[in-house]
Amino acid sequence: MTENKKAYFTIGELVKKFKRYYPDLTSSKLRFLESRGLIIPRRAANKYRVFYRNDVRKINLILKLQKDYFLPLEVIKEKIESIDFDKFDENKGAVKELQLKLEEGQKKLKLKKLSIDDIKEKYRLSQEYINELVEEGVISWHEEDGKYLIDGKDVEILRIVSELVKFGIKVKHLKLFENSAYRQSSFLQQIIYPVIKSSGKDSHKKASKILFKLEEYFSELNEILFKKINKQFLDSYK
């Protein structure tokens, strides 16, 4: 196919095209997606990145999964690997199925409730360990119809904790994550507070939008720095 203005977008043109739907999108963001292996733009004769129709469709889905489902890039990369964007029309069903699964997964996460007995059986955690998690404020439970239940995000925390236990990680070690989360959240709340306390009728909605975006940036930066430091550690023993 001959490369011409109608056949592809430059990185600047693509950012402009998506600005209406993703106001915070920048050329740096697209280059970051490339560095993480999510997109592989071709190069024009002048060595500039060029994006064809299949690239545009792929980028749109990546940005939508981030915006609507708050998925980390590693998860997004895994979920879109099975979709052939060169044959997008044939794969529309797969894309729709992926979105439906994500929506269903979010609903299940909100509705999921497990009893303490369910937790012990499902994640092989002792009553003592669960009690310690509650005492340290890592998770919480509530009573419903005579049963102690754990729901939502706390169930997901337990799922991850059950894997960490296998590496000898104890409840006291989890305070590292909680303390870090509190410090970062407090910092974000200082940014959001003036917005949420403003007199505008959409102040809460605006504050939520900003918070979600900052959470995304913080998670992305944490992941990069975390892996960078660990790589430096491994490299020091080569």
166-218 per-position pLDDT tens digit: 999 988 898 888 888 889 999 999 999 998 888 777 888 888 888 877 887 88
pLDDT at 155: 84
Q: Are 8 and 50 in contact (CB under 8 A)?
A: yes
Would you say residue 4 has pLDDT above 50? no
From the list 61, 40, 62, the residue with the least C-alpha distance to 51 is 40
Per-residue pLDDT at 99:
57
pLDDT tens readout for residues 118-162:
888 888 888 999 999 988 888 888 888 788 888 777 888 888 888
User: What are 147's strand-pairing partners?
Assistant: 144
In the predicted structure, residue 27 carries a pLDDT above the cut 80: yes
Give the per-residue pLDDT at 47: 86
CA proximity to 133, closest of 165, 109, 103: 165
Asked if pLDDT for residue 236 goes beyond 90, the answer is: yes
- pLDDT surpassing 60 at residue 100: no
The answer to whether the Cα torsion of 83, 84, 89, 90 is positive or negative is negative
Kindly tell me the sign of the dihedral angle through the C-alpha atoms of 99, 104, 105, 109: positive
Query: Which residues lie below 8 Å from residue 115, measured CB to CB, with a gap of 6+?
Result: 147, 148, 149, 150
User: Which domains, from first to last, does the chain contain?
Assistant: 9-109 (1.10.1660.10), 113-169 (1.10.1660), 177-238 (no CATH)
Q: Give how far Cα 228 sits from Cα of 8, 218, 233, 236, Å.
A: 34, 15, 9, 12
**Mean pLDDT of all residues in the chain?**
81
Structure tokens of 5?
Answer: 């203005």
From 221, 202, 220, 222, select the one nearest 210 (Cα to Cα): 202
- In the prediction, which pLDDT does 234 show? 93
| Residue 224: band (very low, low, confident or very high) from pLDDT cuts 50, 70, 90 | confident
